[in-house]
Amino acid sequence: MRKSAALLATIIVVSGALALSHATIALSSSPGRSEAGLIPADDLQQQVIAAERAGLDALKRGDLAQFANLTGDEAVFVDDHGPADKTEVLKHVAGFTITEYSMEEIRFVPISSNTGLISYKCAEKGNSHGHDFSALVYVSSVWTKRGNGWVCLFSQETAVRKPPATTTPASH
């Protein structure tokens, strides 16, 4: 009797595990669905990329109000000067405009059904506090949907390193 009960318990556990694994596979293999299934993954990626472009376009237009609306109150931005909160970032971008930018090598990671991280290489030109600049940076940003809009919670820029100069061996 004990062997029968143990065997029955094992069958129930294995059957339950198989049913759970099939359900998990069915959910995870549904095309275009995000982790929680609320926003299709492809749509989430496109919406996050569009939000990032909206932030860059606001800087291009010099629209600080729009840039502020796209920045979460608790946001942290990091660059070569270190971390800054929203107030500090808005002070800095008051004298900053982008005239041109490009986004290349875009990568996306869904974090939840309404939050995603993008990483990309950005070539940008503009003017910062009266001085023209040109930069090539890697950018990572975390965006989340709140209500009907998107806000950036985190962004980090890292300058792209120039490749080391190559030297040719001296001829003898």
Please state the separation of Cα 37 from the chain's center in Å. 19
Determine what percent of the chain is predicted with pLDDT higher than 90. Answer: 63
d(CA 124, CA 99) in angstroms, rounded, equals 8
- What mean pLDDT do residues 108-124 have? 96
d(CA 125, CA 97) in angstroms, rounded, equals 9
pLDDT at 10 over 60: no
* pLDDT class of 12 with cuts at 50, 70, 90: very low
Condensed to tens digits (0 to 9), the pLDDT of residues 51-104 reads 999 999 999 999 999 999 999 999 999 998 999 999 999 999 998 999 999 999
- What mean pLDDT do residues 127-143 have? 95
Between 107 and 35, the more confident residue is 107
Give this prediction's pTM: 0.71
Specify the DSSP class assigned to residue 35.
S
Q: Which CATH architecture has domain 41-159?
A: Roll (3.10)
* pLDDT class of 15 with cuts at 50, 70, 90: very low
- The letter for the amino acid at 29 is S
Question: What are the domain boundaries of the chain?
Answer: 41-159
Nearest one of 126, 144, 145, 128 to 136, comparing CA atoms = 126
Q: Identify the bridge partners of residue 132 per DSSP, sorted by sequence position.
A: 127
Q: Which two tokens stand for residue 17?
A: 């595990």
Residue pair 82/157 in contact by the 8 Å Cβ criterion? no
